[in-house]
Structure 1
């Protein structure tokens, strides 16, 4: 046998992800069909061709197959499918393309150079619509038959029926010379098993041509409409006009034996798992050891709705997919369409036309998926990443901001002067500033206080929510001075103007006194450029590698660049900010009216002759050692900076650097 893998096109179309194929620089005419639909809805379809119990062709041209991963479905508009050896399968499409796959990868290959295919048999024997025969793979013979009407392959041999009626047998695919076995111009089907060729003729007779002995052709059946060999069992199955099926075994001299369990049959197929027979009504059965069971198109037994997020922020768009579980164990996943989805609370989420789900408000909703006969659901929780503010406690009563709360709950608000028109779900609410009476669905509702202004926001008594929704409840968190709204199956937190300060106070304690303060950087390089102004934007607590509580200071300069300190204790932060070697609490450049050149030298830690004492101090810092002598009314200072591998010294006379010395 020749190598079967040599012909595979390197372009492989996955049975799950394929959407099309390009061959060379042009689009293949088969491209529109090279798709495997994620929606394998096989309801209402019939099986039209069978390889075995796991591999069969449906009436819409799609195919069910089985790999080591399980059953899978592919919509390729096949005209026929067949099995070769070594777990290899072939198919040909309604447009004449040849395809191949195996039972391992679930990948379908386009076979290049095979066009206008009418039939494939055996291990890759191809009959083209023009009557020419071809062989898939390498090792093709120089001469191949033409003017062929029918082919039938078995293992590495094949037989052909020519238009003239001649029947030729080819022992192997590489042999281009066939052996003429007989001539039957009225033949309508031929089947061979490597030992004999069975010929079904138009008058219903079945003639057996022996390939081994050369015996005279033998008529073994009449009134036949279909024939099939039982693999290598040397037994021919014959379907008769009356729908009965008969077995003719070489071991009994091809004497007929009826398969009484099969009736009303029009064709049969054999595989090692049994005999597959099609009834006159189109249905198929499997006959295994005389036990007959129906072979049915798989149906969807259950659904699962998969959302890309079940906890989503207001404004997010959620992708919805359907996982369809079939009766044969196959699982198909496809995008859900808008008409299959519903949401129970329209104020929380909305189904968009493309099948995505937009989160509109904070709360819990249920997304329901309904197909032809099945339904499933998934929860969706709307949240927000932004802190909602505006809650206030007035004379012991909780007030909430109109705009913030109703928008968070999914309502729409129309403002007309001092009047607020709110639509929330099926409810219509009207609020008026300085009024304690609300209109709900055109009915007056007296509130426990007036709608009023607090700061820059309009607020209303929180107790109104329980009148709008029976499950709504508002509580006041006195620890953090904030309101907690329970509605739509979720909690909405509305902070007051004190909340963040209280939370920060709990987190960092007395360090809150430093928040917002300004400093000017000296030598603490982790806070930015030297002498630049920075503000303390935040201080937050975190654990160090030893699980000890420490604090990190977040600095921000005037450009908006942010810097983080080391992890420090509270006392270390206080000491750091008060150490003039690290920070100044004023802009030192405004204290000394020096030239920019002088400041640049200081920033670059340069000391040159002629600098004054303060400039040298700012440039190099405090010396490790200082000696002072007075001579003839002059003050002489020697500053020493001592390191492990260096010694820098300054000579200063009467406050001016006169010598810079380094070792």
Structure 2
């Protein structure tokens, strides 16, 4: 996140020697242009400039500059991918870091990542029995993959590395995204159709029956719910719907009230069920957290206070002063800013001047 800070320092001098002063800082309006691109969990945001906000020890907010293109996880741990296809990791004890030696990352889902060569990885371990993969999905400790030949695969929960073929998907290149949850895999096609494959929905020959549950969709994600897990579908008209329970799980049953102009939703990674709400992004890029019919804005963290201090309040002629700058953000973060990132103006430059920084 590139910022410009303007710091103005006023000096009152007595006989050219004594010093007393105050400092004030103003941040540029550049920060106000930033938007949240994606949300992995509480206070864990991917920003529009590729930087990230995350938490250390689950409490302290930190900002990490970078060129991150996608994230997956929640505030305590997760992975991401950079714009040039490298893997990023974070956990409760460290901020986002690029994993050395990784490249060619095409997609991330849960803790799995797909390479452009069609192989799938979990950490540094290559997944067995998978090749030629186009898309992956992971949630609720389940993993699914769609291959270039149309095979839709769901990993066996009791036999890791073993996969059940749910069916052959026609024109797999036309699948835009997919989501998985509790034996169900939902596909979103380029034409807006949402097709669900469920392991318990099969014909007399044991073949799983794909069911089209929605059309004109823009985004899909599964959410835990009792008694039936729900599919949250954002339609192209900006409305948000959920599938129903039991036999109504095959159709959009209820429109989510209070949401319009939505382009996508995001489930809080550690939520037990939908009662904890979900995040929704509006077409203007802003986000809300929706819970029980109520929307709460998710604000971009911005500087609310800027403190500037000098190493000596009463310097003598020839003394060198060190300047310290700290930003306090609306999310509680306190971040020190390198002086090289600030433009410092001296009120009386004939009494003091700025020295060049030594590297």
Give the TM-score range, shorter chain: 0.7 to 0.9
Higher helix proportion: 1
1:74 aligns with 2:64: yes
Contact 2:262 2:280 survives alignment (8 Å): yes
- Corresponding residue number in structure 2 for 1:134: 121
User: Which of residues 40, 47, 69 is equivalent to 2:36?
Assistant: 47
Higher strand proportion: 2
Within 5 Å, give how 1:19-34 maps onto structure 2.
Answer: none
Within 5 Å, give how 1:13-24 maps onto structure 2.
Answer: none
Contact 2:201 2:209 survives alignment (8 Å): no
- Corresponding residue number in structure 2 for 1:274: 277
1:154 aligns with 2:139: yes
Structure 2 unaligned regions, length at least 5? 1-27, 203-207
How many residues end up aligned between the 2 structures? 312
Within 5 Å, give how 1:379-418 maps onto structure 2.
Answer: none
- Corresponding residue number in structure 1 for 2:254: 257
Cα separation, 1, equivalents of 2:209 and 2:338: 63
Contact 1:53 1:286 survives alignment (8 Å): no
Q: Match of 2:146, SS?
A: strand
1:299 aligns with 2:302: yes
1:243 aligns with 2:231: no
Cα–Cα, structure 1 residues 345 and 42, in superposed 2: closer, same or farther, change >3 Å? closer
Cα–Cα, structure 1 residues 61 and 321, in superposed 2: closer, same or farther, change >3 Å? same
Cα separation, 2, equivalents of 1:180 and 1:56: 35
Cα separation, 1, equivalents of 2:138 and 2:329: 34
User: Which of residues 328, 333, 343 is equivalent to 1:330?
Assistant: 333
Cα separation, 2, equivalents of 1:321 and 1:114: 37
Q: CA deviation at 1:164?
A: 2.1
Q: CA deviation at 1:306?
A: 2.2
Q: CA deviation at 1:88?
A: 1.7
Within 5 Å, give how 1:251-650 maps onto structure 2.
Answer: 251=246, 253-254=248-249, 255=251, 256-271=253-268, 272=271, 273-337=276-340, 340-354=343-357
1:228 aligns with 2:221: yes
Cα–Cα, structure 1 residues 108 and 202, in superposed 2: closer, same or farther, change >3 Å? closer
- Corresponding residue number in structure 1 for 2:176: 188
- Corresponding residue number in structure 2 for 1:369: none
User: Which of residues 53, 64, 85 is equivalent to 2:53?
Assistant: 64
Q: Match of 2:315, SS?
A: strand
Cα separation, 1, equivalents of 2:196 and 2:137: 15
Cα separation, 2, equivalents of 1:100 and 1:144: 25
After superposition, give the CA deviation of every residue in 1:547-568 in whole Å (9 maximum; x if it has no partner).
xxxxxxxxxxxxxxxxxxxxxx
Contact 2:55 2:62 survives alignment (8 Å): yes
TM (normalized to structure 1)?
0.44
Cα separation, 2, equivalents of 1:338 and 1:318: 17
- Corresponding residue number in structure 1 for 2:150: 165
Contact 2:261 2:283 survives alignment (8 Å): yes
Runs of 4+ in 1 over 4 A off after TM superposition: none
Larger RCO of the pair (alpha carbons < 8 Å, separation 6+): 2
Cα–Cα, structure 1 residues 113 and 296, in superposed 2: closer, same or farther, change >3 Å? same
- Corresponding residue number in structure 2 for 1:36: none
Q: CA deviation at 1:172?
A: 4.7
Contact 2:79 2:90 survives alignment (8 Å): yes
User: Which of residues 186, 195, 201 is equivalent to 1:198?
Assistant: 186
Cα–Cα, structure 1 residues 66 and 252, in superposed 2: closer, same or farther, change >3 Å? farther
Cα separation, 2, equivalents of 1:113 and 1:171: 30
TM (normalized to structure 2)?
0.79
Cα–Cα, structure 1 residues 109 and 45, in superposed 2: closer, same or farther, change >3 Å? closer
Cα separation, 2, equivalents of 1:311 and 1:144: 71
Q: CA deviation at 1:328?
A: 0.9
Cα–Cα, structure 1 residues 83 and 283, in superposed 2: closer, same or farther, change >3 Å? same
Contact 2:264 2:280 survives alignment (8 Å): yes
Cα separation, 2, equivalents of 1:352 and 1:131: 54
Cα–Cα, structure 1 residues 93 and 174, in superposed 2: closer, same or farther, change >3 Å? farther
1:92 aligns with 2:81: yes
- Corresponding residue number in structure 2 for 1:216: 209
Q: CA deviation at 1:266?
A: 1.2
- Corresponding residue number in structure 1 for 2:22: none
Q: CA deviation at 1:324?
A: 0.6
Q: CA deviation at 1:287?
A: 0.7
Cα separation, 2, equivalents of 1:52 and 1:135: 21
Cα separation, 2, equivalents of 1:115 and 1:174: 29
CA-atom RMSD in angstroms? 2.7
Contact 1:156 1:173 survives alignment (8 Å): no
Cα separation, 2, equivalents of 1:245 and 1:251: 20
Cα separation, 1, equivalents of 2:47 and 2:158: 31
